[in-house]
Amino acid sequence: MKNNKPQIVLDTNVLLVSISPLSQFHWIFEELVAGSFDIFISNEILTEYEEIIASRYDKEVVKDLFGVLLSLPNVYKVVPYFRWKLIENDPDDDKFVDCALSANAFGIVTNDKHFNVLKNIDFPKISVYSVDDLQQILKETDTSNN
């Protein structure tokens, strides 16, 4: 982690539950906007974000969200050049693995059980974290910066 900030890939399910100010997970979006961690995205991830979020929110929310995401200095666009195909039970999730590996990210934050298969793969090694793990990591990072 450069600058002691976690550098992660956010699965769509995590971003989705963090958008609403009424959500118990809104702190994730607030921490992202505050620059507490860096995220990596690819075109495939952006497309999925848009598709899933647009199915639950109106066009203005999606437009505003993407305006924020694409303007934040801690959001980095990655172009994965290799497809690892590690998640056999849900190949659509491979885009997050490919992005994380291309970016040399700290890990993927998700609540999707399909990513658990990564825990048993020695190479390439990619860490998987839950939302609770992210909260703990951010607390530890904040403590070490003080």
pLDDT in tens, 34-49: 999 999 999 999 999 9
Q: For 77, phi and psi rounded to 5 degrees?
A: -90, 135
- Mark out the alpha helices in the chain (DSSP H runs): 12-19, 26-34, 43-54, 59-71, 94-103, 131-145
Structure token digits, residue 112: 């999707």
pLDDT in tens, 115-137: 888 888 888 889 999 999 999 99
pTM over 0.85: yes
How remote is the C-alpha of 144 from its chain's centroid? 22
Q: Decide which of 122 and 17 is more confident.
A: 17
User: In terms of CATH architecture, what is 2-138?
Assistant: 3-Layer(aba) Sandwich (3.40)
